[in-house]
Structure formats: structure tokens, C-alpha cells
Structure 1
Amino acid sequence: MEQVMNVQPLTHKDRPALEAMDTGIEDDYVVRIFERLIESDSHELFGLFREGKMLAVGGYSLFGSGKFAMLGRLRSDRRSLMKGNATELLQPIVDQLFRDPMVAWVGANTHLHNHAARRVLEKLSLNQGPVLHFLTLKSPKLLTAHESGPVWEEVTDLQHKKELIHSTEMNELGVFPFECYYPLPYDNALFTDQHLEKSSFYQNPDASRFVIVKSDTKKFDYSHVKYFWNDHYNQPGFFETILHHWKQHPDHVGCWIDFSAEGFKNIPDLSPYDVQEPWMLYGKWK
């Protein structure tokens, strides 16, 4: 007899089923912040169940007043891998999101070499996007071959910030790195006054470049750097500027920088950084 599987949003009563999954992930943050996720207005978490057992878990986060939905937090029980459970879980979630009149884009961010996850996303008809490299500058004393210079001038006027952010819709990153791990399409819905006011903007002396640094927390606190060109090492004062922000926040573990594939190639020495595997963004507009 065929065993029926069903997908349902998770509630407090589902914590034991989540904890019973064998995901192979030690100290899984989804388990640690489970209550926060299911009680949030901007996050949703779902489980794939069969006979009361959770075979897979995943969900999405909403950004830009609900315009953008990023899939994530996908985990499968290792005892039932290679059975299509991830697709079985995510397909109805994606279908639901595209029926939502508020949602205009659905996407996901996964490691470039995670071919199993990429196959799932392609089955969901999400399109390949840019490859990004997430690096955390943790040892600035090891920086070499960069153009030194004075700290760039801080921009505090909200209207000036808006003018700067709107000037780089076509940029060399190909996305807007909204948060650590969450690159999104470059869209005005993300540039709320609140977001811009909490972001530190710095502009170089000839006004040809600017950088945004915003505090962000993903288990650890970071100075999250948003720079839209590939010439980090050729712009005098760039590194002095982001290190200036880090020094103002000594609790941060480092400067998280999103590099494009080309920008990553331009780094002369990776020793100052904590380097992750490259990521690929998938997405689809309605």
C-alpha cells in the first residue's frame, strides 16, 4: 500500500518530530531558533510528514514587504535520502507563493557544488542566476596589494543615500546583498527609509564609488559590506573605510563581503579571509 505524505506548516507541537530527524547537522540553528521561526511574520517553516514522521523540513523568508520570497532551511532525514522528498516538500510551497498576490519573485541560494540541491531548484523551474563568493575579512593585518588611502566620507543625508543606491541598479554584483546569505534582485522595495537609515554609507573623494556597511547577525555579528564593483583592491581607502566601521563595532567578528565571480578572481591573497564555498542564486519572477 502506498504511504501518503503530506506537507504542512509547523507549529510548536512539531518540535519533537524535528528533533527526531537525522540530518547530520550538529547544533542546527533551525532547531535552536525553531520557536522564533514559526512565530515570525516574515518566516514560514513546513514539514513533509509520513505516518507522523518528519522526512524533510524547509521554508521561506519574505523581504521587501513580501515582494521577495527566499526558500531555505532545507533539511532531509538521512535515512530517507534520494527519494524526492525535497521536491515533494518544496513544490507545494512554491506553488503557494506564486498564488500569493504580494509575492513577485521566488528564489533560493545554494552552494555551487551542491548538485543535488541545484537539481531540486531546477525541478521547481527556478532559473540560474549569478555566482557569489561570501568572504569574511577577519585578519586585516594580512591584507596585501591594496591601494591605501583615507577613510571615505560618510553620507548621512537620507536623500543622498537614496540617490546613491538608485545609481547602481546595473552593477557588477548583479544583485543587492540585502543580508548575509540573502542576495536579492536589485529592487526599490528593499530600499526602505528604515533600511537606509540603519546602513552606513561612505563615498570616495571623487564621488565615483561608494560602499554600504550594515550590521547584521547570522549566529555571529558582522559588518556586512555592500560594494557594487570589482575593484576593491584598486580603490584607495576602500579597506580603511570598512575597517573603520568594524572598529566602531568591536563585537563584530569581521567584515562580511559579497564578491562577484570576477571580483573574487581579483583577490591577490585569500589569507586575510574566512572563505566559503561559492554560492549560486536561483530565482524566478512571476
Structure 2
Amino acid sequence: MKYKILNSDDYPQLEAMQTGIENDYVERIFHRLTSGNHRLYGLFLDNQMISMGGYSIFEERYAMLGRLRSDRRFRGNNYATKLIAHIINEAFQVNGIKWVGANTQEENKPARRVVEKLELTPLATLHGAVTKDLSSLESKAKPWNRITSHERKKQWLKEVYIRRTAIFPYEVYYSFPATKDLFKDEEVQKWSFYENATQNRVLITKYDQKKNHYLHAVYPWSDITSQSGLWETISNDYHELKEQTGADTYIWMDLTKEEVQLLPKNHNFELPSPWMLYGIDKVNYCKLK
């Protein structure tokens, strides 16, 4: 049994695995996942790859695990756990990496068992709520006021996220414990910030693209149904973005289970199985070794 960091020439090894996954996106972007800020590793038995996984680096500080694939003919032997343990150790050897995490859907019990065996701590459970229509939530209220001051934006991020090390939805599918490293000035300048009339609430909207185009709306409180003008503000930004990007454009919000329960019955959000974020920082990881 041996571990190997993969490169584009190892694609036939992935093709030979019997993962049971049809139309696997990892196969389509394999070459990209072996370069840049991405790494893939394989676990080999007699020169045959039996498990694969990797990580992506965000803002030179965070490493997010993912792309775990196992050959069905070799399951039940703890190989995936051994591989992920190796990958976590490799990630923490990268200069600057202070935190390693994993994001898996709540219904994916095999993946959850792997990260829990490795003592990654559960940090948040969030629905990736997606919609094209907020009309059932709007009340024709006045939209919130746009924040133009970069210093005011940074003040909000510090107060709401950094001081609390709160979980921040940095991208669609990718949330992290907030530190100042997560909020680079050039990125924050691209995001839109809005305050309510009493200036005690903030909304952040930003553009993201995965398979589709998204207006990623970030709201760090649970009073989503009682804040007048919140949904109108999101809807305005969504329609503005859609004019630029076209039909395959959606609103994405990361909502807790409690927030989902507050939504009216006629809401138009699609709510797949929630994502569970796990993680461990370098200090605690070193204590476990």
C-alpha cells in the first residue's frame, strides 16, 4: 500500500476505478484538480488506485478536503480513512495552512464517518437554498441602503464574523471560520454591502459561478422573515445580475435548519440535504498527533 500525489497522467487510474458514480464531475475536471491550488492523492495497492481524495487551498490559509472516491471492490477496509488522514497531514505541511476542513451532505453517512473518525469537529449545518423567485417573501418594502465605504464594510466583517470566528459562506459550497485572511481587500471591494434603516443589520451579496451563475446572498442573522426590505434588496441585485448572465442564474443562500423552518409554506427555495461543515485548526491537530 502506498500514497501518491496525482498528476494529469494518472487519469487512466481514475477511469479504472469502479466508484459507482455516473457522470462524475471529477472525471471532467481531473486535470484542473491536479494543478494550481488543488491537489489530488491516490492510495495504491499493487499499482492499482483503490481510493482517491484531495484538497483545495483558499486564501493561502484554508484547505478544504474533497473529491473522495473509492473503488467498490475494496470498500470496508478503512482505506478511505487512511487516505484522508494522509491528506490532512500533507495539507498541514503546506506553508501557511492553519485550518483543514471537509464539507459533506448530511445524508452522506459514509463520508461523515470518515471525517468523524479523524476527529474533525462539526462546525455548521447549512442548507444550500436555491431559487429564482423571491416573490412569496417580498412585501414591496423599501430596499436597504448600499454601503459605499470600504472601511464600513470591513467594520461589519470584523464585528459580525472575525471577532466571533463565525462561519462565513465564502463561496457557494465553501464556508470557513472567519479570520482577517479570508477578507482580502480586492475581494471585499467586489462584494455589495447593504444596511437596514436602523443600521443594526447587514446583507452581503456577491457573484459566484460553479456550473451555474449565482447571486450569493449572505445574511448572518436568523430574523430573515421579519426584516423589512431584506428580500427586496436581494431580489434587486439578482435581477441586475441576471440581465448580465442570462437564464441559468440563481439566488443561493446558506440557511440553517432553524431558518428554513421560518420560511412560509409557499416559499420557492429548493432545499437539498444540508451540508455539514467539519474542521480542525493546526494547533488542535498537532495536539492529536
TM-score when scaled to structure 1?
0.90
Shift of 1:174: 4.1
In structure 2, C-alpha distance between the alignment counterparts of 1:80 and 1:118, rounded to whole Å: 19
- State whether structure 2 residue 17 is matched by structure 1 residue 17: no
Deviates more, 1:242-251 or 1:177-186: 242-251
- Equivalent in the alignment of 1:37: 33
Shift of 1:97: 2.3
Post-superposition Cα deviations, 1:147-172, rounded to whole Å, max 9, x if no partner, equal 54122122232212111111202799
Q: Percent identity?
A: 40
Shift of 1:270: 6.2
Deviates more, 1:131-140 or 1:220-229: 131-140
Change (3 A) 1:71 1:79: same
Amino acid at match of 1:164: W
In structure 2, C-alpha distance between the alignment counterparts of 1:173 and 1:280, rounded to whole Å: 17
Classify the secondary structure of the residue corresponding to 2:279. strand
Classify the secondary structure of the residue corresponding to 2:270. strand
Change (3 A) 1:191 1:236: same
Query: Quick check: 2:165–2:177 contact (8 Å CA) kept in 1?
Result: no
Moved over 3 A (4+): 170-174
The partner residue of 1:233 within 225, 228, 238 is 225
In structure 2, C-alpha distance between the alignment counterparts of 1:270 and 1:17, rounded to whole Å: 47
- Equivalent in the alignment of 2:84: 90
Query: Quick check: 2:208–2:214 contact (8 Å CA) kept in 1?
Result: yes
Post-superposition Cα deviations, 1:223-245, rounded to whole Å, max 9, x if no partner, equal 11111001111111111111111
In structure 2, C-alpha distance between the alignment counterparts of 1:7 and 1:221, rounded to whole Å: 36
Change (3 A) 1:174 1:180: same
The partner residue of 2:265 within 244, 269, 275 is 269
Deviates more, 1:78-87 or 1:210-219: 78-87
- Equivalent in the alignment of 2:147: 155
Deviates more, 1:184-193 or 1:99-108: 99-108
- Equivalent in the alignment of 1:136: 130
CA RMSD for the aligned pairs? 2.0
Deviates more, 1:167-176 or 1:109-118: 167-176
- Equivalent in the alignment of 1:211: 203
The partner residue of 2:177 within 162, 176, 185 is 185
Amino acid at match of 1:80: F
- State whether structure 2 residue 44 is matched by structure 1 residue 49: yes
In structure 2, C-alpha distance between the alignment counterparts of 1:119 and 1:159, rounded to whole Å: 43
In structure 2, C-alpha distance between the alignment counterparts of 1:156 and 1:51, rounded to whole Å: 60
Post-superposition Cα deviations, 1:59-93, rounded to whole Å, max 9, x if no partner, equal 111112x2111111111122322221211211111
The partner residue of 2:191 within 195, 199, 209 is 199
Post-superposition Cα deviations, 1:210-233, rounded to whole Å, max 9, x if no partner, equal 111111112111111111001111
In structure 1, C-alpha distance between the alignment counterparts of 2:160 and 2:170, rounded to whole Å: 14
Flag structure 1 segments of 5+ consecutive residues without an equivalent. none
Query: Quick check: 2:160–2:166 contact (8 Å CA) kept in 1?
Result: no
Classify the secondary structure of the residue corresponding to 2:111. helix
Change (3 A) 1:118 1:171: farther
Classify the secondary structure of the residue corresponding to 2:249. coil
In structure 2, C-alpha distance between the alignment counterparts of 1:14 and 1:23, rounded to whole Å: 16
